[in-house]
Amino acid sequence: MSTDAQYRLAVGAGGAVLVAVITFARFCGGLSLRDPKPPEPVGPSGTARQLLAKSTSSTPIYLDYIAKDAAAASVRAPTLDDMSRKLAYYADDARHVLDVGGKPVETVGLRLTAERSNDLLVLSIENTTDHDLAYEVTTTPASPGVCNSARPLPFDAMVIAKKSTEARTECVWREGASIAIARVETMEVPPLSSWYLRQLPPGLVGIPPRIARGHRRPANAPRCSEVVAQTIRSGIERREIGWRDLVDFYARHRCETYQFPPAYRAFNSDGEQALPALDESR
């Protein structure tokens, strides 16, 4: 056989083998002409809310927030035991009526006085204790529509510093006007808790808009969401969740990171619940 014939035979045989290999790879899948695709990286899964909850649920991360926030507030960083202590709480459900120029009412660490300030009827609230007090004074205006239109004085609706006074608008001034007090609640709060509560939108703890609209936030305080979850709103309306429960939670948690769990209730003893307290239903 000639050399040319041998060459043509070798080329033909090689081409037949190549065709067979490609055909087998295409239809039988036993051979890949490309590099195998690397496996997809495995990472955290879930909704954004779930991922946030996972990232903030550990005690070390909670304590890291505590340390950073204490530095920002220029106060001593509390320990986990400090943050887990029961907060002293007081309540007065007796009805009181305050007249301008009349005798003040002293109750649960506060001295309450009715005053006139130009065109306004004002409630003066003095903290007579040696502790910062979270507080709520529930009043029942005789004319809600008129009182809602009164010019709000800027004040701290969440906390009164020890031996300090806050003055809030109750209504427009009318001759013979008085202030009817339905309930007074106070809670003694340590320095970091006081700082947490001062930056909290009052509506998150159930303070009505008539009062909350005058609240002044500390300068450069973190801005927290004012949205109240429907489950929380319903719990407040049914009186299943109280002011004490909400304030107790936010005295222990930064509002820009942690949300109130519907099942949370105020501590009745030291270390009663693990911190941070999370919504286990999510």
Specify the pLDDT at position 79.
Answer: 98
Query: pTM score, two decimals?
Result: 0.80
Q: Which residues neighbour 22 within 8 Å (Cβ) at sequence distance 6 or greater? A: none
Average pLDDT, the chain: 86
Q: Tokens 């003095």 appear where?
A: 126
* Alpha carbons 132 and 163: distance in angstroms, whole number: 8
Specify the pLDDT at position 2.
Answer: 45
Residue 132 pLDDT > 90: yes
Out of 40-44, 138-142, 226-230, least confident range:
40-44
Residue 172 pLDDT > 70: yes
Specify the pLDDT at position 221.
Answer: 77
Give yes or no for a contact between 186 and 109, defined as CB atoms under 8 angstroms apart.
yes
* Residue 60 DSSP symbol: H
Q: Quickly state the pLDDT bin for 225 (edges 50, 70, 90).
A: confident
* 109 token code pair: 């660490």
Judge residue 178's burial from the number of C-beta atoms within 10 Å of its C-beta, 0-12 exposed, 13-18 middle, 19 or more buried.
middle
Is the pLDDT higher at 202 or at 33? 202
Mean pLDDT of 188-197: 97
Residues 21-36: b if buried by 16+ CB within 10 A, e if exposed? eeeeeeeeeeeeeeee
Q: Domain extents for the chain? A: 55-250
Cβ neighbours, 10 Å, residue 111 = 14
Mean pLDDT of 102-129: 97
Q: Quickly state the pLDDT bin for 98 (edges 50, 70, 90).
A: very high
